[in-house]
Structure 1
Amino acid sequence: MNAKETDGRDGRTGVAVVTGAGSGIGRAVTRELLRGGWSVVLAGRRAQTLEETAEAAGGGETLIVPTDVSQPADVEALFAATASRFGRVDLLFNNAGTSGPGGVPVEELPYEAWRHVVDTNLNGAFLCAQAAYRQMKGQTPQGGRITNNGSVSAHVPRPRSVAYTATKHALTGLTKSLALDGRPYRIAVGQIDIGNAATEMTERMRTGVLQANGEIAPEPVMDVADVARTVRHMAELPLEANVQFATVLATGMPYVGRG
Protein backbone atom coordinates (compact mmCIF):
# COMPACT_ATOMS: atom_id res chain seq x y z
CA MET A 1 0.00 0.00 0.00
CA ASN A 2 1.14 3.57 -0.57
CA ALA A 3 1.12 6.43 1.94
CA LYS A 4 -2.44 7.44 1.10
CA GLU A 5 -3.73 3.91 1.65
CA THR A 6 -2.06 3.46 5.05
CA ASP A 7 -3.02 6.76 6.58
CA GLY A 8 -3.62 7.55 10.23
CA ARG A 9 -7.37 6.86 10.08
CA ASP A 10 -6.68 3.52 11.78
CA GLY A 11 -4.05 4.76 14.22
CA ARG A 12 -1.11 3.06 12.49
CA THR A 13 0.89 5.05 9.97
CA GLY A 14 0.30 7.77 7.44
CA VAL A 15 1.73 11.14 6.40
CA ALA A 16 3.70 13.10 8.97
CA VAL A 17 5.00 16.66 8.88
CA VAL A 18 8.03 17.18 11.13
CA THR A 19 9.24 20.73 11.71
CA GLY A 20 12.79 21.34 12.82
CA ALA A 21 13.67 18.09 11.06
CA GLY A 22 17.21 19.10 10.19
CA SER A 23 18.79 18.29 13.54
CA GLY A 24 18.36 17.03 17.07
CA ILE A 25 14.98 15.76 18.16
CA GLY A 26 13.40 16.47 14.79
CA ARG A 27 16.01 14.37 13.02
CA ALA A 28 15.61 11.49 15.48
CA VAL A 29 11.81 11.53 15.20
CA THR A 30 11.98 11.64 11.42
CA ARG A 31 14.20 8.57 11.37
CA GLU A 32 11.94 6.71 13.80
CA LEU A 33 8.78 7.49 11.84
CA LEU A 34 10.37 6.43 8.57
CA ARG A 35 11.50 3.21 10.23
CA GLY A 36 7.88 2.61 11.19
CA GLY A 37 6.58 3.04 7.65
CA TRP A 38 5.41 6.66 7.77
CA SER A 39 5.82 9.03 4.86
CA VAL A 40 7.54 12.11 6.27
CA VAL A 41 7.63 15.73 5.14
CA LEU A 42 10.80 17.33 6.48
CA ALA A 43 10.52 21.04 7.27
CA GLY A 44 13.32 23.30 8.43
CA ARG A 45 15.18 26.44 7.47
CA ARG A 46 18.14 24.78 5.71
CA ALA A 47 17.65 22.39 2.81
CA GLN A 48 21.09 20.84 3.29
CA THR A 49 20.43 19.64 6.84
CA LEU A 50 17.02 18.32 5.80
CA GLU A 51 18.66 16.34 3.02
CA GLU A 52 21.21 14.99 5.52
CA THR A 53 18.37 13.83 7.77
CA ALA A 54 16.64 12.06 4.88
CA GLU A 55 19.89 10.38 3.82
CA ALA A 56 20.70 9.29 7.38
CA ALA A 57 17.28 7.68 7.67
CA GLY A 58 18.33 5.17 5.06
CA GLY A 59 15.05 4.83 3.21
CA GLY A 60 11.37 5.63 3.29
CA GLU A 61 9.21 8.13 1.43
CA THR A 62 10.18 11.74 2.17
CA LEU A 63 9.47 15.25 0.93
CA ILE A 64 11.85 18.09 1.77
CA VAL A 65 10.33 21.56 2.11
CA PRO A 66 12.63 24.35 3.39
CA THR A 67 10.48 26.33 5.81
CA ASP A 68 10.79 29.17 8.29
CA VAL A 69 7.85 28.42 10.58
CA SER A 70 7.69 32.04 11.77
CA GLN A 71 6.66 33.12 8.25
CA PRO A 72 2.98 32.54 7.36
CA ALA A 73 3.74 32.24 3.64
CA ASP A 74 6.34 29.54 4.29
CA VAL A 75 3.92 27.54 6.42
CA GLU A 76 1.20 27.85 3.81
CA ALA A 77 3.62 26.60 1.17
CA LEU A 78 4.69 23.69 3.40
CA PHE A 79 1.18 22.34 3.80
CA ALA A 80 0.26 23.04 0.18
CA ALA A 81 3.26 20.96 -0.93
CA THR A 82 2.28 18.20 1.49
CA ALA A 83 -1.29 18.10 0.24
CA SER A 84 -0.14 18.15 -3.37
CA ARG A 85 2.22 15.20 -2.86
CA PHE A 86 0.29 13.04 -0.40
CA GLY A 87 -3.29 14.31 -0.34
CA ARG A 88 -3.54 14.47 3.46
CA VAL A 89 -1.76 15.05 6.79
CA ASP A 90 -2.08 12.49 9.58
CA LEU A 91 0.52 13.83 11.99
CA LEU A 92 2.16 17.17 12.70
CA PHE A 93 5.13 17.01 15.04
CA ASN A 94 5.41 20.68 15.99
CA ASN A 95 9.08 20.64 16.94
CA ALA A 96 10.85 23.69 15.49
CA GLY A 97 12.22 25.95 18.18
CA THR A 98 15.06 28.05 19.49
CA SER A 99 16.36 28.71 22.99
CA GLY A 100 17.57 32.19 22.17
CA PRO A 101 20.62 33.77 23.80
CA GLY A 102 21.55 31.82 26.93
CA GLY A 103 22.55 33.28 30.25
CA VAL A 104 21.23 36.79 29.58
CA PRO A 105 19.60 38.55 32.56
CA VAL A 106 16.03 39.71 32.02
CA GLU A 107 16.98 43.39 32.13
CA GLU A 108 19.60 42.92 29.40
CA LEU A 109 17.62 40.76 26.96
CA PRO A 110 17.19 42.66 23.67
CA TYR A 111 13.63 42.91 22.44
CA GLU A 112 14.74 41.51 19.07
CA ALA A 113 15.99 38.35 20.82
CA TRP A 114 12.72 38.01 22.76
CA ARG A 115 10.70 38.47 19.58
CA HIS A 116 12.75 35.88 17.66
CA VAL A 117 12.08 33.22 20.31
CA VAL A 118 8.36 34.07 20.45
CA ASP A 119 8.03 34.10 16.67
CA THR A 120 9.69 30.70 16.33
CA ASN A 121 8.51 28.76 19.37
CA LEU A 122 4.97 30.09 19.78
CA ASN A 123 3.86 31.83 16.61
CA GLY A 124 5.49 29.15 14.47
CA ALA A 125 3.78 26.39 16.42
CA PHE A 126 0.43 28.14 16.06
CA LEU A 127 0.83 28.71 12.32
CA CYS A 128 1.73 25.07 11.69
CA ALA A 129 -1.04 23.77 13.94
CA GLN A 130 -3.56 26.05 12.25
CA ALA A 131 -2.54 24.83 8.79
CA ALA A 132 -2.59 21.19 9.91
CA TYR A 133 -5.97 21.70 11.57
CA ARG A 134 -7.46 23.07 8.35
CA GLN A 135 -6.13 20.11 6.36
CA MET A 136 -7.20 17.50 8.91
CA LYS A 137 -10.69 18.96 9.28
CA GLY A 138 -11.32 18.98 5.54
CA GLN A 139 -9.76 15.68 4.47
CA THR A 140 -11.42 12.30 4.06
CA PRO A 141 -11.25 10.37 6.31
CA GLN A 142 -11.38 13.36 8.63
CA GLY A 143 -8.94 13.87 11.48
CA GLY A 144 -5.33 13.50 12.48
CA ARG A 145 -2.91 14.17 15.30
CA ILE A 146 -0.81 17.14 16.39
CA THR A 147 2.01 16.59 18.88
CA ASN A 148 3.70 19.70 20.24
CA ASN A 149 7.25 19.67 21.62
CA GLY A 150 6.85 21.46 24.91
CA SER A 151 10.03 20.83 27.01
CA VAL A 152 10.23 20.50 30.76
CA SER A 153 10.54 24.30 30.64
CA ALA A 154 6.78 24.24 30.07
CA HIS A 155 6.65 23.36 33.78
CA VAL A 156 9.68 24.91 35.47
CA PRO A 157 12.29 27.44 34.28
CA ARG A 158 16.02 27.44 34.17
CA PRO A 159 17.76 30.62 35.34
CA ARG A 160 17.93 33.38 32.73
CA SER A 161 15.60 31.72 30.25
CA VAL A 162 12.63 34.08 30.31
CA ALA A 163 11.82 34.03 26.57
CA TYR A 164 12.16 30.27 26.14
CA THR A 165 10.24 29.50 29.33
CA ALA A 166 7.44 31.92 28.50
CA THR A 167 6.92 30.40 25.06
CA LYS A 168 6.96 26.84 26.39
CA HIS A 169 4.39 27.67 29.07
CA ALA A 170 2.27 29.27 26.34
CA LEU A 171 2.61 26.14 24.23
CA THR A 172 0.85 24.17 26.97
CA GLY A 173 -2.13 26.50 26.66
CA LEU A 174 -2.03 26.11 22.90
CA THR A 175 -2.03 22.33 23.25
CA LYS A 176 -5.04 22.33 25.57
CA SER A 177 -7.04 24.72 23.42
CA LEU A 178 -6.28 22.85 20.20
CA ALA A 179 -7.19 19.55 21.86
CA LEU A 180 -10.56 20.93 22.92
CA ASP A 181 -11.38 22.54 19.57
CA GLY A 182 -10.25 19.46 17.66
CA ARG A 183 -12.60 17.01 19.36
CA PRO A 184 -15.52 17.34 16.92
CA TYR A 185 -13.20 16.68 13.95
CA ARG A 186 -11.18 13.70 15.27
CA ILE A 187 -8.10 15.87 15.69
CA ALA A 188 -6.14 14.60 18.70
CA VAL A 189 -3.62 17.04 20.17
CA GLY A 190 -0.96 16.25 22.74
CA GLN A 191 2.38 17.47 24.02
CA ILE A 192 5.70 15.85 24.84
CA ASP A 193 7.85 17.62 27.43
CA ILE A 194 11.48 16.63 27.03
CA GLY A 195 14.37 17.03 29.46
CA ASN A 196 18.02 16.72 28.47
CA ALA A 197 17.86 14.59 25.36
CA ALA A 198 21.38 14.29 23.95
CA THR A 199 21.45 16.64 20.95
CA GLU A 200 23.57 19.52 19.73
CA MET A 201 21.48 21.90 21.83
CA THR A 202 22.12 20.03 25.08
CA GLU A 203 25.82 19.30 24.59
CA ARG A 204 26.65 21.96 27.21
CA MET A 205 24.75 19.95 29.84
CA ARG A 206 27.63 17.49 30.01
CA THR A 207 30.18 20.15 30.96
CA GLY A 208 28.05 22.31 33.22
CA VAL A 209 25.10 24.71 33.16
CA LEU A 210 23.81 27.37 35.52
CA GLN A 211 21.66 26.04 38.36
CA ALA A 212 19.04 27.85 40.43
CA ASN A 213 21.48 28.25 43.33
CA GLY A 214 23.98 30.03 41.13
CA GLU A 215 26.36 27.10 40.75
CA ILE A 216 27.57 25.62 37.46
CA ALA A 217 27.01 21.87 37.40
CA PRO A 218 26.94 19.11 34.78
CA GLU A 219 23.65 17.32 34.18
CA PRO A 220 22.90 13.83 32.85
CA VAL A 221 21.42 13.40 29.40
CA MET A 222 19.46 10.60 27.74
CA ASP A 223 19.50 9.05 24.30
CA VAL A 224 17.39 11.10 21.89
CA ALA A 225 16.19 7.83 20.34
CA ASP A 226 14.13 7.23 23.49
CA VAL A 227 12.30 10.49 22.82
CA ALA A 228 11.70 9.50 19.21
CA ARG A 229 10.18 6.18 20.23
CA THR A 230 7.83 8.00 22.60
CA VAL A 231 6.69 10.37 19.86
CA ARG A 232 6.05 7.42 17.56
CA HIS A 233 4.06 5.63 20.25
CA MET A 234 1.88 8.72 20.71
CA ALA A 235 1.48 9.04 16.94
CA GLU A 236 0.41 5.46 16.32
CA LEU A 237 -2.41 5.33 18.84
CA PRO A 238 -5.88 5.22 17.28
CA LEU A 239 -7.48 8.65 17.18
CA GLU A 240 -9.92 7.53 19.86
CA ALA A 241 -6.96 7.56 22.30
CA ASN A 242 -4.64 10.45 23.09
CA VAL A 243 -1.58 11.05 25.24
CA GLN A 244 -2.43 14.57 26.34
CA PHE A 245 0.92 15.22 28.07
CA ALA A 246 4.01 13.05 28.34
CA THR A 247 7.23 13.94 30.17
CA VAL A 248 10.39 12.15 29.08
CA LEU A 249 13.63 13.13 30.76
CA ALA A 250 17.05 11.97 31.81
CA THR A 251 16.39 10.13 35.05
CA GLY A 252 18.95 11.98 37.14
CA MET A 253 18.47 15.52 35.88
CA PRO A 254 17.50 18.21 38.41
CA TYR A 255 13.89 18.59 37.33
CA VAL A 256 11.74 17.45 40.26
CA GLY A 257 12.39 20.13 42.85
CA ARG A 258 14.14 22.39 40.38
CA GLY A 259 14.18 26.04 41.38
Structure 2
Amino acid sequence: MSESIQQTQNARIALVTGAGSGIGRAVAQGLLQDGFTVVLAGRRPEPLNEVAQAAKAAGQHALAVVTDVRDPVSVEALFTIIKSNYGRLDLLFNNAGISSPAVPMDELPVETWLNVINTNVTGVFLCARAAFGLMRKQVPQGGRIINNGSISAHTPRPFSSPYTASKHAVLGLTKSIALDGRTFDIVCSQIDIGNALTELSARTTKGVLQADGHIATEPMMDVKYAADAVRHIAALPLSANILNMTVMATKMPFAGRG
Protein backbone atom coordinates (compact mmCIF):
# COMPACT_ATOMS: atom_id res chain seq x y z
CA MET A 1 0.00 0.00 0.00
CA SER A 2 1.42 3.40 -1.01
CA GLU A 3 2.09 6.16 1.49
CA SER A 4 -0.73 8.24 -0.02
CA ILE A 5 -3.21 5.39 0.43
CA GLN A 6 -2.02 4.78 4.00
CA GLN A 7 -2.45 8.45 4.88
CA THR A 8 -5.96 8.64 3.45
CA GLN A 9 -7.37 5.15 4.04
CA ASN A 10 -9.86 6.54 6.55
CA ALA A 11 -10.58 9.70 4.56
CA ARG A 12 -13.31 10.22 2.03
CA ILE A 13 -11.91 11.00 -1.43
CA ALA A 14 -13.64 13.59 -3.59
CA LEU A 15 -13.00 14.85 -7.11
CA VAL A 16 -14.15 18.32 -8.16
CA THR A 17 -13.85 19.36 -11.80
CA GLY A 18 -13.56 23.02 -12.65
CA ALA A 19 -12.16 23.43 -9.15
CA GLY A 20 -10.01 26.49 -9.74
CA SER A 21 -12.74 29.13 -9.65
CA GLY A 22 -16.40 29.91 -9.05
CA ILE A 23 -18.74 27.20 -7.82
CA GLY A 24 -16.12 24.48 -8.19
CA ARG A 25 -13.66 26.32 -6.00
CA ALA A 26 -16.29 27.06 -3.34
CA VAL A 27 -17.41 23.42 -3.29
CA ALA A 28 -13.84 22.12 -3.11
CA GLN A 29 -13.09 24.40 -0.16
CA GLY A 30 -16.28 23.30 1.58
CA LEU A 31 -15.52 19.61 1.11
CA LEU A 32 -12.02 20.17 2.47
CA GLN A 33 -13.60 21.73 5.57
CA ASP A 34 -15.80 18.64 5.86
CA GLY A 35 -12.76 16.38 6.01
CA PHE A 36 -12.62 15.14 2.44
CA THR A 37 -9.35 14.67 0.63
CA VAL A 38 -10.08 16.60 -2.57
CA VAL A 39 -8.65 16.11 -6.04
CA LEU A 40 -8.82 19.43 -7.85
CA ALA A 41 -9.23 19.15 -11.63
CA GLY A 42 -9.22 21.91 -14.21
CA ARG A 43 -7.41 23.24 -17.25
CA ARG A 44 -5.49 26.07 -15.58
CA PRO A 45 -2.75 25.02 -13.14
CA GLU A 46 -2.36 28.34 -11.31
CA PRO A 47 -5.81 28.55 -9.64
CA LEU A 48 -5.76 24.82 -8.86
CA ASN A 49 -2.39 25.14 -7.16
CA GLU A 50 -3.63 28.17 -5.24
CA VAL A 51 -6.51 26.15 -3.77
CA ALA A 52 -4.21 23.20 -3.03
CA GLN A 53 -1.62 25.38 -1.28
CA ALA A 54 -4.28 27.09 0.84
CA ALA A 55 -5.59 23.65 1.83
CA LYS A 56 -2.12 22.50 2.84
CA ALA A 57 -1.64 25.61 4.95
CA ALA A 58 -4.91 24.78 6.73
CA GLY A 59 -3.84 21.19 7.42
CA GLN A 60 -6.17 19.81 4.74
CA HIS A 61 -5.40 17.39 1.92
CA ALA A 62 -5.80 18.42 -1.73
CA LEU A 63 -4.17 17.37 -4.98
CA ALA A 64 -4.20 19.53 -8.11
CA VAL A 65 -4.34 17.67 -11.44
CA VAL A 66 -4.47 19.63 -14.70
CA THR A 67 -7.24 18.03 -16.75
CA ASP A 68 -9.25 18.74 -19.88
CA VAL A 69 -12.59 17.00 -19.34
CA ARG A 70 -13.26 17.10 -23.10
CA ASP A 71 -10.31 14.78 -23.73
CA PRO A 72 -10.74 11.04 -22.98
CA VAL A 73 -6.97 10.58 -22.59
CA SER A 74 -6.75 13.46 -20.10
CA VAL A 75 -9.68 12.09 -18.06
CA GLU A 76 -8.16 8.60 -18.09
CA ALA A 77 -4.88 10.03 -16.79
CA LEU A 78 -6.75 11.87 -14.02
CA PHE A 79 -8.43 8.69 -12.80
CA THR A 80 -5.18 6.73 -13.02
CA ILE A 81 -3.70 9.26 -10.59
CA ILE A 82 -6.73 8.98 -8.28
CA LYS A 83 -6.57 5.19 -8.24
CA SER A 84 -2.80 5.15 -7.76
CA ASN A 85 -2.76 7.73 -4.97
CA TYR A 86 -5.92 6.80 -3.07
CA GLY A 87 -7.25 3.49 -4.33
CA ARG A 88 -10.85 4.72 -4.41
CA LEU A 89 -13.24 7.62 -5.04
CA ASP A 90 -16.22 8.41 -2.83
CA LEU A 91 -17.55 11.57 -4.47
CA LEU A 92 -17.45 13.21 -7.89
CA PHE A 93 -18.74 16.75 -8.31
CA ASN A 94 -19.06 17.13 -12.08
CA ASN A 95 -18.83 20.89 -12.27
CA ALA A 96 -16.67 21.92 -15.24
CA GLY A 97 -18.72 23.77 -17.81
CA ILE A 98 -18.85 26.75 -20.15
CA SER A 99 -21.51 28.97 -21.70
CA SER A 100 -21.71 30.73 -25.06
CA PRO A 101 -22.41 34.27 -26.32
CA ALA A 102 -26.07 35.31 -26.31
CA VAL A 103 -26.57 35.64 -30.05
CA PRO A 104 -29.29 34.43 -32.45
CA MET A 105 -28.80 30.78 -33.32
CA ASP A 106 -27.91 31.49 -36.95
CA GLU A 107 -25.03 33.73 -35.81
CA LEU A 108 -23.55 31.13 -33.48
CA PRO A 109 -20.44 29.44 -34.91
CA VAL A 110 -20.70 25.66 -35.12
CA GLU A 111 -17.34 25.47 -33.35
CA THR A 112 -18.89 27.24 -30.34
CA TRP A 113 -21.77 24.76 -30.24
CA LEU A 114 -19.36 21.83 -30.34
CA ASN A 115 -17.15 23.28 -27.61
CA VAL A 116 -20.12 23.76 -25.27
CA ILE A 117 -21.46 20.26 -25.93
CA ASN A 118 -18.01 18.66 -25.64
CA THR A 119 -17.38 20.39 -22.32
CA ASN A 120 -20.80 20.30 -20.69
CA VAL A 121 -22.04 16.92 -21.92
CA THR A 122 -19.13 14.79 -23.10
CA GLY A 123 -16.97 16.06 -20.23
CA VAL A 124 -19.63 15.14 -17.68
CA PHE A 125 -20.05 11.72 -19.32
CA LEU A 126 -16.30 10.98 -19.43
CA CYS A 127 -15.79 11.83 -15.76
CA ALA A 128 -18.97 10.02 -14.67
CA ARG A 129 -17.98 6.99 -16.75
CA ALA A 130 -14.55 6.79 -15.13
CA ALA A 131 -15.97 7.40 -11.65
CA PHE A 132 -18.65 4.75 -12.19
CA GLY A 133 -16.00 2.22 -13.17
CA LEU A 134 -13.84 2.95 -10.14
CA MET A 135 -16.77 3.03 -7.71
CA ARG A 136 -18.17 -0.25 -9.09
CA LYS A 137 -14.89 -2.11 -8.61
CA GLN A 138 -13.59 -0.62 -5.36
CA VAL A 139 -14.08 -2.17 -1.91
CA PRO A 140 -16.35 -1.20 -0.32
CA GLN A 141 -18.31 -0.71 -3.49
CA GLY A 142 -20.24 2.46 -4.31
CA GLY A 143 -20.01 6.22 -4.24
CA ARG A 144 -21.82 9.42 -5.13
CA ILE A 145 -21.84 11.49 -8.31
CA ILE A 146 -23.26 15.03 -8.22
CA ASN A 147 -23.73 16.76 -11.57
CA ASN A 148 -23.88 20.54 -11.77
CA GLY A 149 -26.91 21.20 -13.92
CA SER A 150 -28.47 24.65 -14.14
CA ILE A 151 -31.75 26.51 -14.03
CA SER A 152 -31.36 26.20 -17.81
CA ALA A 153 -31.93 22.45 -17.52
CA HIS A 154 -35.58 23.46 -17.06
CA THR A 155 -36.07 26.97 -18.48
CA PRO A 156 -33.81 28.70 -21.03
CA ARG A 157 -32.59 32.22 -21.27
CA PRO A 158 -32.89 33.95 -24.64
CA PHE A 159 -30.27 32.93 -27.22
CA SER A 160 -28.81 30.15 -25.11
CA SER A 161 -29.44 27.07 -27.25
CA PRO A 162 -26.01 25.37 -26.76
CA TYR A 163 -25.97 25.83 -23.01
CA THR A 164 -29.65 24.97 -22.57
CA ALA A 165 -29.35 21.86 -24.73
CA SER A 166 -26.27 20.76 -22.82
CA LYS A 167 -27.94 21.11 -19.44
CA HIS A 168 -31.05 19.24 -20.58
CA ALA A 169 -28.69 16.47 -21.65
CA VAL A 170 -27.05 16.47 -18.22
CA LEU A 171 -30.47 16.02 -16.63
CA GLY A 172 -31.07 12.89 -18.70
CA LEU A 173 -27.59 11.61 -17.93
CA THR A 174 -28.15 12.16 -14.21
CA LYS A 175 -31.32 10.06 -14.26
CA SER A 176 -29.61 7.31 -16.25
CA ILE A 177 -26.66 7.15 -13.84
CA ALA A 178 -29.04 7.10 -10.87
CA LEU A 179 -30.86 4.15 -12.39
CA ASP A 180 -27.81 2.23 -13.61
CA GLY A 181 -25.95 2.74 -10.35
CA ARG A 182 -28.55 1.12 -8.08
CA THR A 183 -27.04 -2.35 -8.30
CA PHE A 184 -23.62 -1.05 -7.33
CA ASP A 185 -24.54 1.49 -4.60
CA ILE A 186 -23.59 4.34 -6.93
CA VAL A 187 -25.86 7.30 -6.26
CA CYS A 188 -26.34 10.23 -8.63
CA SER A 189 -27.81 13.68 -8.03
CA GLN A 190 -28.14 16.92 -9.96
CA ILE A 191 -28.00 20.38 -8.44
CA ASP A 192 -29.47 23.24 -10.46
CA ILE A 193 -27.96 26.52 -9.36
CA GLY A 194 -29.41 29.91 -10.20
CA ASN A 195 -27.50 33.19 -9.97
CA ALA A 196 -24.71 32.28 -7.59
CA LEU A 197 -22.31 35.21 -7.58
CA THR A 198 -18.95 34.24 -9.07
CA GLU A 199 -16.39 35.89 -11.31
CA LEU A 200 -18.22 34.60 -14.38
CA SER A 201 -21.74 35.47 -13.26
CA ALA A 202 -20.92 39.01 -12.10
CA ARG A 203 -22.11 40.36 -15.46
CA THR A 204 -25.67 39.41 -14.46
CA THR A 205 -25.60 42.20 -11.90
CA LYS A 206 -25.10 44.69 -14.76
CA GLY A 207 -28.11 43.53 -16.74
CA VAL A 208 -28.94 40.56 -18.95
CA LEU A 209 -31.46 39.96 -21.73
CA GLN A 210 -34.89 38.87 -20.49
CA ALA A 211 -37.55 36.79 -22.24
CA ASP A 212 -39.60 39.88 -23.14
CA GLY A 213 -36.61 41.50 -24.84
CA HIS A 214 -35.57 44.08 -22.27
CA ILE A 215 -32.34 44.20 -20.29
CA ALA A 216 -32.58 43.87 -16.51
CA THR A 217 -30.31 43.26 -13.58
CA GLU A 218 -31.04 40.11 -11.58
CA PRO A 219 -30.74 39.31 -7.86
CA MET A 220 -27.76 37.16 -6.92
CA MET A 221 -26.90 34.91 -3.97
CA ASP A 222 -23.59 34.21 -2.29
CA VAL A 223 -21.86 31.22 -3.91
CA LYS A 224 -21.47 29.82 -0.38
CA TYR A 225 -25.11 28.68 -0.46
CA ALA A 226 -24.56 26.70 -3.64
CA ALA A 227 -21.52 25.06 -2.06
CA ASP A 228 -23.46 24.33 1.13
CA ALA A 229 -26.16 22.58 -0.91
CA VAL A 230 -23.58 20.32 -2.57
CA ARG A 231 -22.03 19.61 0.83
CA HIS A 232 -25.45 18.62 2.17
CA ILE A 233 -25.97 16.08 -0.61
CA ALA A 234 -22.41 14.81 -0.19
CA ALA A 235 -23.00 14.19 3.52
CA LEU A 236 -25.96 11.86 2.95
CA PRO A 237 -25.49 8.11 3.35
CA LEU A 238 -25.67 6.11 0.12
CA SER A 239 -29.03 4.80 1.28
CA ALA A 240 -30.53 8.27 0.74
CA ASN A 241 -30.47 10.63 -2.21
CA ILE A 242 -31.68 14.00 -3.40
CA LEU A 243 -32.16 13.30 -7.11
CA ASN A 244 -32.69 16.95 -8.05
CA MET A 245 -32.15 20.11 -6.04
CA THR A 246 -32.65 23.71 -7.13
CA VAL A 247 -30.87 26.41 -5.13
CA MET A 248 -31.23 29.94 -6.41
CA ALA A 249 -31.39 33.60 -5.61
CA THR A 250 -34.91 33.92 -4.22
CA LYS A 251 -36.07 36.76 -6.47
CA MET A 252 -34.41 35.75 -9.73
CA PRO A 253 -36.76 35.28 -12.70
CA PHE A 254 -37.03 31.51 -12.92
CA ALA A 255 -40.65 30.69 -12.15
CA GLY A 256 -41.95 32.89 -14.95
CA ARG A 257 -39.03 34.31 -16.92
CA GLY A 258 -40.88 37.14 -18.59
Query: Is 1:81 the counterpart of 2:104 in the alignment?
Result: no
Name the CA distance, whole Å, in 2 between partners of 1:256 and 1:76.
Answer: 40
Name the CA distance, whole Å, in 2 between partners of 1:55 and 1:247.
Answer: 32
Name the CA distance, whole Å, in 2 between partners of 1:85 and 1:106.
Answer: 45
Superposed structure 1 runs of 4+ greater than 3 Å apart: 55-59
Name the CA distance, whole Å, in 1 between partners of 2:53 and 2:255.
Answer: 38
Q: 2:9 aligns to what SS in structure 1?
A: helix
Q: 1:142 aligns to what SS in structure 2?
A: coil
Equivalence for 2:9: 4
- 1:143 Cα deviation after fit: 0.1
Question: For each residue in 1:132-189, what CA deviation from the matched residue of structure 2 results, as whole angstroms up to 9, or x when unmatched?
Answer: 0000000000000000000100000000100000000000000000000000000000
Q: 1:21 aligns to what SS in structure 2?
A: coil
Name the CA distance, whole Å, in 2 between partners of 1:17 and 1:255.
Answer: 30
Label 1:233 to 1:160 Cα distance change in 2 as closer, same or farther (>3 A).
same
Name the CA distance, whole Å, in 2 between partners of 1:238 and 1:183.
Answer: 14
- 1:4 Cα deviation after fit: 1.9
Identity %: 59
Name the CA distance, whole Å, in 2 between partners of 1:165 and 1:133.
Answer: 25
Question: For each residue in 1:48-67, what CA deviation from the matched residue of structure 2 results, as whole angstroms up to 9, or x when unmatched?
Answer: 11012223444411111100
What TM-score do the two structures reach when normalised by structure 2?
Answer: 0.95
Equivalence for 2:51: 53
Q: Is the 8 A contact 1:34 1:59 kept in 2?
A: no
Name the CA distance, whole Å, in 1 between partners of 2:24 and 2:9.
Answer: 23
Q: 1:200 aligns to what SS in structure 2?
A: coil
The amino acid of 2:64's aligned partner reads I
1:142-161, aligned counterparts within 5 Å?
A: 142-161=141-160
- 1:84 Cα deviation after fit: 0.8
Question: For each residue in 1:178-223, what CA deviation from the matched residue of structure 2 results, as whole angstroms up to 9, or x when unmatched?
Answer: 0000000000000000000000111011110000011000001101
Query: Is 1:117 the counterpart of 2:86 in the alignment?
Result: no
The amino acid of 1:145's aligned partner reads R
Query: Is 1:140 the counterpart of 2:139 in the alignment?
Result: yes
- 1:3 Cα deviation after fit: 2.7
Q: RMSD over aligned Cα, in angstroms?
A: 1.1
1:139-218, aligned counterparts within 5 Å?
A: 139-218=138-217
Question: For each residue in 1:108-129, what CA deviation from the matched residue of structure 2 results, as whole angstroms up to 9, or x when unmatched?
Answer: 1110000000000000000000
Equivalence for 1:226: 225
Gaps of 5+ in 1: 7-13
What TM-score do the two structures reach when normalised by structure 1?
Answer: 0.95
Question: For each residue in 1:31-64, what CA deviation from the matched residue of structure 2 results, as whole angstroms up to 9, or x when unmatched?
Answer: 0000010000000001111012223444411111
Equivalence for 1:40: 38
Q: Is the 8 A contact 1:19 1:42 kept in 2?
A: yes
Which 10-residue stretch deviates more, 200-209 or 51-60?
Answer: 51-60
The amino acid of 2:129's aligned partner reads Q
Matched residues, number:
251
Equivalence for 1:131: 130
Q: Which has the higher contact order (CA 8 A, sep 6+)?
A: 1
The amino acid of 1:213's aligned partner reads D
Name the CA distance, whole Å, in 1 between partners of 2:195 and 2:98.
Answer: 15
Q: 2:221 aligns to what SS in structure 1?
A: coil
